[in-house]
Amino acid sequence: MTATPWGDPRDLHARTRPAADDGGTVRERVHAAMVTAVAERGYDAIREDDLAELAGVTRAAFDAEFDDRLGCFVATLEATLELAAAAATAAVRPEADWRARIELSFQALLEFVAAYPAAARLCLVDVYAAGPAAVAALDRRTRTVGRWAISTIEQSPERASMPRDIVRAAVGGVRHIVQARIMAGRTSELPGLAPALVDWLLTYRTPPVDLPPAIAGAPPPPEDVRDRRGLDRSSRVAALEESVVRMRDTAVRAYRAAPDWTRGVRDGLRALLEYLSTHPAEARLATEVVWAGPAVRARFDALAVGFAIQLAEGLRGRSPAPGLAAEAIGFSIATLIFERTTRQGPEQLEEIGPVATFVALAPAVGAIEACAVVE
């Protein structure tokens, strides 16, 4: 059984009457059909006629609401995200302060994902199979979440004027944590992770000194990445895996050569970013992993955990969930690398080093000491 926000999809096969007869709408029934069909067969295997049949609506009714399969997918993604946002909003009490608003809304979002894992997978994993237009819709919503996070967090005096790069990285880290659990079939864990993830997010306070901007410019138009969906070819996958091993080993060597943990993290990140800057083809290849499919992405994540393990060493005794915090930090840094590379190119990636180092160290040593290490 595939649970969807629009009802039990088992009923879809039995519906033969017009949508209005059984209290549903054509759009809602097709949204449920899209979630179910993608979960069962994958996006590439479904057609408009399949969706209409599964939803129990005529092809004419389908065509009246959606331009094509892609339009239906994007509409389903947007409708799912709207329902998730509504659940988060409804969970917040009017009298809640800024921290409670974050805690309550975050808990509600992760409970929504756990309740509807197929719908969440459509939005955060299968979206890449649907192509750039669908990914652009997801990215727009992610930026909206980022703006909400900034406006809420800045109500805390210790977090006023928080640099956008830090918020962007942290939001990306959480998004990837959720994606990883979805791909592994472990969405039931997410509600239990909410308190620790909020605690990690709130370890960040505004840096006492200005950090150089890490990312500038607008996101590239969707057409710029359309050809990356061919990444599942075995030769490119093998090249990607070999490249990630070199990146990881470069960072770990620099980390181990440093005199202490904080400088090891800084030097490891510096070595990684310098490597990527001087090997731009490998940097671009690494950013294309999102288009390669869940299996390749899972292997990429597994190969990339080496540096996160080093992060966890310094977080023990300083974080109630050092493994989770290290994972979130690693994904946050990956977000910075991805955003910088796709917007401005990889040739000067070392420029994001100060922000990346702050993101890595601040949860363990605080904003003041993190900035001292950066400088």
The percent of residues in the chain predicted with pLDDT above 90, rounded, is 62
9-66: which CATH topology?
Arc Repressor Mutant, subunit A (1.10.10)
pLDDT of residue 21: 42
- For 290-312, the DSSP string reads GGS-HHHHHHHHHHTHHHHHHHH
Residue range 230-375 forms a domain whose CATH class is mainly alpha
**Section 254-267 average pLDDT:** 94
pLDDT of residue 306: 65
Distance of CA 227 to the CA centre of its chain: 21
The DSSP call for residue 219 is P
pLDDT of residue 187: 97
pLDDT of residue 22: 43
Tell me: pLDDT of 13 over 80. Answer: no
Tens digit of pLDDT for each residue in 105-162? 999 999 999 999 999 999 999 999 998 899 999 988 888 888 888 888 888 899 989 9
pLDDT of residue 6: 94
CA-based torsion, 261, 263, 268, 273: positive or negative: positive
Tens digit of pLDDT for each residue in 232-256? 556 777 787 888 888 888 998 999 9
pLDDT of residue 262: 93
pLDDT of residue 213: 86
* Spatial contact of 51 and 30, defined as CB atoms under 8 Å apart: yes
**Section 267-274 average pLDDT:** 95
Tell me: pLDDT of 74 over 70. Answer: yes
Confidence at 14, pLDDT banded by 50, 70, 90: low
The structure's pTM equals 0.88
3-state secondary structure of 7: strand
- For residue 143, which of 317, 343, 283, 5 has the smallest C-alpha distance? 343
Tens digit of pLDDT for each residue in 18-52? 544 443 589 999 999 999 999 999 999 999 999 99
pLDDT of residue 293: 77
Confidence at 221, pLDDT banded by 50, 70, 90: low
Tell me: pLDDT of 64 over 70. Answer: yes
Tens digit of pLDDT for each residue in 159-212? 989 999 999 999 999 999 999 999 999 999 999 999 999 999 999 999 999 998
Task: Find residue 319's DSSP bridge partners.
Answer: 316
- For residue 272, which of 179, 374, 352 has the smallest C-alpha distance? 352
Tell me: pLDDT of 17 over 60. Answer: no
pLDDT of residue 294: 80
**Alpha helix (H) residue ranges in 258-352:** 261-278, 280-287, 294-303, 305-315, 322-344
The DSSP call for residue 19 is G
Q: Over the chain, what is the mean pLDDT? A: 87
The H-or-E segment that residue 121 falls in is helix 117-124
Tell me: pLDDT of 311 over 80. Answer: no
Could you count the other beta carbons within 10 Å of the beta carbon of residue 164?
A: 14
* Spatial contact of 330 and 265, defined as CB atoms under 8 Å apart: no
The H-or-E segment that residue 131 falls in is none
Distance of CA 89 to the CA centre of its chain: 20
Tell me: pLDDT of 353 over 90. Answer: yes
Q: Burial level of 90, CB count in 10 A (0-12/13-18/19+)?
A: exposed
- For residue 213, which of 334, 373, 336 has the smallest C-alpha distance? 336
Ordered by start, the domain boundaries in the chain are 9-66, 89-205, 230-375
Confidence at 307, pLDDT banded by 50, 70, 90: low
